[in-house]
Structure 1
């Protein structure tokens, strides 16, 4: 027969639940915070990609404005004279002060971005294709720099970051009178309470943004992102449902040809059909004239046909989602084979593209950039405060994992909730099982042994 009174029993259960949540908050932080510091630094830089690229690569990207630009074919010829090979893409100058960019597969096997003054056809210089500083930052942020296997960590990090925020809200939730550690920071930097309060207050103010960034970053993940991409766009050659694709289609994919948005990564490229009396191509100048007439946003890229069935593809993904557009032209007739924009995406595709655009700091201009830069700085401070707090609390010669609850049954409900998340995000579920095994087989026995050996 229990001698514990109902109020005491309730307090004990609450305390046990707090310990269980604290324990998993610690594990989530252990897994995610180092990763989040890297994402925050690279993400904060990438928010200002256009500004930083224009500054860092001003010698090849900026030109003096003159009266009239030269035909695109003239600019391509100048690029090929400087770097012999095959031109595969022409990028229209985004502004009057921007250079034109011609992508060349050189005779030596390199793939170069050659920058040409659109007014004089002077070649300003060349870089490796996607070799700017901001492309490197982007590849580091998405882990594409480390190959396809590493990109799967995005899904794991996103799931555990969400768990980190949810458990953090529970730990932050006010249980006593006073505002210390709730909306204000107590103490001074030398004290642990200062770092605890700083961590809690920062976390509650940016937690929602962290979850938003985690969810909108999931489309780039290796498993979940690929499945949702297929679900959002169906099996209609990788295009959103409703887009007319009753034309011959090749096996080539749009993302292999030119950088594209998430929704069109798997979109197949149509083929040109050479009809009677159509022995010659309309040429780059003719294709650009059509794209200009169709009103593509300046800065669009034109992928050039390299085979008899190839097409001219004009694609542009500006900050304004309504201006996103991809148009494929038959290289002989100039006919529009596929013409689609943001409004053609399905509901899920539009929602995800909007979230991605906000994630990248593009949707609401400078305000969007500054807001998420603040969030990135806050994430770094969260990680630093967590590390300092752990260092001040940790016991000697131990990891400092939060203590076990007296009643292990409190883990059941918590694990059930985590399991639901694991079913939605498979890689998160797999990592959860690994952590449960490590906790059960290694960490718990060590803690219990340490308690038994403590002097009484």
Structure 2
């Protein structure tokens, strides 16, 4: 028989419901759940930056063809002669057409390529004025304002890809995209492998890693098959784009450069100091044979031919760039500028008074990291393998766009469609992956993630921001659930 409550007492309130147990959804394990949630949010939030990078990179792949259409009449000659004229005659013709500034470098023309005489002056800033001369007639074909040898069109496309024409601030977008691209690519491969391994035999697993499973039902599973399979095919290329893009980014690139310095892995410097030679003492009086500074001094035109002859004798074949010294009393430099495979990047320093090679630096002697960095940049720019390189980069850009579109389509296809639960997109994977990880994984993973975040600052900052926001949102959601939970009645005692 029940008894009534004693006077002055009140029914105790029920304890608030405990947080739901940590049960990561669709991950199969704490690690899988964490990776799935990271891949999902990185894809949703970083994909817009990747879309912009892919579109602007796709535009940059056709830069050589754009140059040919816009500037072909200046950069190439209509008729190839039997033998080029002396470089001195070509430089003199360029000087007559462009008396301002000083000659910074000359690339003698060969075949159907015009000679490029580059003029520099303080008022030009980082840019130069390049005069194009027919090497067979010394006729000036025109001039362009260039940036480290790039035409105005190529410079415009390069700036669009690197910083969206927003200067230093715009560089953050491309570095953010490159910082997350390798994480998204590798995470996607791991997730797809885990899914296929759990559902099929090993042979079928490998097959469906490389070929989409067309037997899957229409909808999110079919889309996921195309998204993941194409992503697997693109992984190596995307990792390459991420790594090479980061090497000259603002923050990660600075850390990469510091690493090269600490390992003494940069391309060796070429000494331009003039010392006594077997042919006689070096001329250090700053006379005409040794050129003049880039501030407008006059360089003896005949010296270009002497320096070029000395470099050819030393074995520098193919296209080269001849540069007078920036300061009087120093050697001239001749550098191979063939960036197509196999590249030719040997350099020599030449005393123009005696036509003697005073120093040499061969590409074969560069440190391995310096070689890889240089080759990677040329491949990223689409020039290492010529048109094939351009086609591969274009295919990577188009493939990445397809993967992103399919990723967003999966998000939309997973949306609730019931009348009482309609939503614009699917729900994100459940939280709880980090808290469910074993302690030893956290012991290794946290310092490793911190080290990566230090090396790639924009990745580290955005990841920290995501974790902070996600923690705050999760805490707010738990408070709302507790406040909305009904109080259970307490049965009367007996």
Normalised by the size of structure 2, how large is the TM-score?
0.72
What displacement does 1:364 show?
A: 4.4
**Partner of residue 350, structure 1:** 371
1:13/1:365 Cα in 2 relative to 1: closer, same or farther (>3 Å)? closer
1:453/1:127 Cα in 2 relative to 1: closer, same or farther (>3 Å)? farther
What are the equivalent positions in structure 2 for 1:10-89 lying under 5 Å apart? 14=28, 17-47=31-61, 49-63=63-77, 64-89=79-104
CA displacement, residues 92-141 of structure 1 (integer Å, 9 cap, x when unaligned): 24541111112224798583222222222222222211333223223333
What displacement does 1:24 show?
A: 0.8
Query: Quick one: which of 114, 118, 121 aligns to 2:135?
Result: 118
SS in 1 for 2:101: strand
- Structure 2 stretches of 5 or more lacking a match? 1-22, 276-280, 291-301, 417-421, 487-494
**Partner of residue 462, structure 2:** 431
Q: What is the distance in 1 between the residues matched to 2:361 and 2:174?
A: 29
Conserved in 2, the CA contact under 8 Å of 1:181 and 1:196?
A: no
**Partner of residue 436, structure 2:** 410
- Structure 1 stretches of 5 or more lacking a match? 1-8, 250-271
SS in 1 for 2:306: helix
Computing the radius of gyration over CA atoms, which structure comes out larger, 1 or 2?
2
SS in 2 for 1:85: coil
Aligned residues: 424
Q: What is the distance in 2 between the residues matched to 1:154 and 1:316?
A: 30
What displacement does 1:393 show?
A: 3.3
Q: What is the distance in 2 between the residues matched to 1:10 and 1:230?
A: 40
Q: What is the distance in 2 between the residues matched to 1:430 and 1:406?
A: 21
CA displacement, residues 374-417 of structure 1 (integer Å, 9 cap, x when unaligned): 22221111122222332333566777561323565136747635
Conserved in 1, the CA contact under 8 Å of 2:274 and 2:330?
A: no
What displacement does 1:286 show?
A: 2.1
1:226/1:340 Cα in 2 relative to 1: closer, same or farther (>3 Å)? farther
Q: What is the distance in 2 between the residues matched to 1:316 and 1:49?
A: 22
What are the equivalent positions in structure 2 for 1:35-434 lying under 5 Å apart? 35-47=49-61, 49-63=63-77, 64-93=79-108, 95-105=110-120, 111-130=128-147, 131-143=151-163, 145-151=165-171, 153-173=173-193, 174=196, 175-177=198-200, 182=209, 183-186=211-214, 191-233=219-261, 239-240=267-268, 245=271, 247=273, 274-275=283-284, 280-281=289-290, 283-305=303-325, 307-309=327-329, 311-318=331-338, 319-394=340-415, 402-405=428-431, 409-410=435-436, 413=441, 416=446, 418-434=449-465
RMSD across aligned positions (CA): 4.1
1:181/1:194 Cα in 2 relative to 1: closer, same or farther (>3 Å)? farther
1:152/1:343 Cα in 2 relative to 1: closer, same or farther (>3 Å)? farther
What displacement does 1:162 show?
A: 1.4
Higher relative contact order (CA 8 A, sep 6+): 2
Conserved in 1, the CA contact under 8 Å of 2:24 and 2:431?
A: no
Normalised by the size of structure 1, how large is the TM-score?
0.77
